[in-house]
């Protein structure tokens, strides 16, 4: 992990090559930690576009602070095991995790990371059977948001992706946890105004327990184009989720722009289509989602009734 004041495309390139970068963001943008928090809340897409220099596909924002009776890692002071944030969009997890520090804990709370690329290179030398299992072994990993199936390292939508739950419940996961435990983690105590920008497809991340109050903002960022990865690993990985064809992907991109409030006239001009076409695409996108949710609801109701 490196530290620097670079933002924009140069920062994204450094994250892609190094895995993680710490940026003194308040200093670089001549602002305060509180205004960084407010800016990320007011317009997460604009915040990420300025930070990384590219338009994101999707951004998920999550306050990270302890709350009374909190149960998730984000809402407690407990130790957070190394993991990836593997919520899916179009069957791909977020490419980038951004942590913006608003208030540091008086004691503890250090971010910890293990570089999956470095770990994999060691396993290929020292434990090739485990390295193969990461690419080939079918696993069902349980996260608080749901289960994720497939090998630990896969190709999803053209991205080489690590998927690692906080707790291992199978043989491959237990072996991986022991291997991760032998790595020397990267450790950094974020200070107010700093941002940790990491590849969520490569870096396993966690947190030390802490005392007192602490506030961060987490942004999960989905990108159109993959981050850097070794060609031999890309060739070795099984394709678990295909990238939509270019025409479909372009339409998804325009619908997402409409949903986040970009003026339809601008989108239609950029996409070189009539505004009526945009609304037809949005309707198809939403109708497909409603149909899937309706089918899921009926299945859930039928299952509940069968258990009575």
Q: What is the residue-averaged pLDDT of the chain? A: 93
pTM: 0.91
**Domains of the chain, CATH where assigned:** 2-237 (3.60.130.10), 246-306 (no CATH)
Give the model's confidence band at 70: pLDDT under 50 very low, under 70 low, under 90 confident, else very high. Answer: confident
Q: Nearest to residue 15, comparing CAs of 53, 41, 60, 71?
A: 53
- Residue 2, pLDDT > 80, answer no
Q: What is the pLDDT of residues 102-121, one digit of tens each?
A: 999 999 999 999 999 999 99
Q: What is the pLDDT of residue 104?
A: 97
Q: What is the pLDDT of residues 133-148, one digit of tens each?
A: 999 999 999 998 899 9
């Amino acid at each position: 992990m490196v530290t620097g004041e670079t933002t924009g495309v140069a920062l994204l390139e450094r994250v892609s090559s190094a895995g993680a970068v710490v940026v003194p963001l308040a200093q670089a943008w001549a602002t305060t930690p509180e205004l960084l928090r407010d800016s990320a809340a007011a317009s997460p897409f604009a915040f990420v576009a300025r930070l990384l220099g590219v338009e994101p596909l999707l951004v998920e924002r999550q306050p990270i602070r302890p709350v009374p009776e909190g149960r998730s890692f984000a809402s407690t002071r407990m130790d957070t095991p190394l993991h990836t944030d593997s919520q899916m969009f179009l069957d791909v997890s977020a490419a980038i995790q951004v942590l913006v520090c608003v208030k540091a804990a008086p004691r503890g709370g250090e971010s910890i990371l293990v570089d999956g690329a470095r770990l994999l290179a060691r396993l290929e030398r020292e434990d090739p059977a485990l390295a193969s299992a990461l690419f080939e072994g079918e696993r069902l990993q349980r996260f608080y948001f749901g289960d994720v199936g497939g090998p630990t390292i896969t190709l999803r939508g053209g991205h080489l992706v690590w998927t690692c739950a906080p707790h291992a419940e199978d043989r491959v996961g237990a072996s991986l946890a022991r291997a991760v435990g032998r790595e020397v983690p990267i450790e950094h105590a974020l200070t107010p105004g700093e941002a940790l920008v990491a590849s969520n497809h490569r870096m396993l991340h966690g947190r030390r327990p802490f005392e007192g109050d602490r506030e961060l903002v987490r942004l999960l960022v989905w990108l159109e184009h993959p981050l850097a990865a070794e060609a031999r690993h890309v060739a070795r990985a099984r394709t678990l989720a295909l990238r939509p064809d270019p025409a479909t992907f372009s339409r998804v991109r325009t619908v997402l722009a409409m949903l986040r409030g970009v003026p339809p006239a601008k989108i239609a001009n950029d996409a070189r289509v009539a505004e009526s076409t945009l609304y037809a695409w949005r309707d198809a996108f939403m109708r497909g989602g409603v149909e899937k949710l309706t089918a899921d609801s009926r299945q859930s109701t039928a299952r509940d009734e069968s258990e009575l």
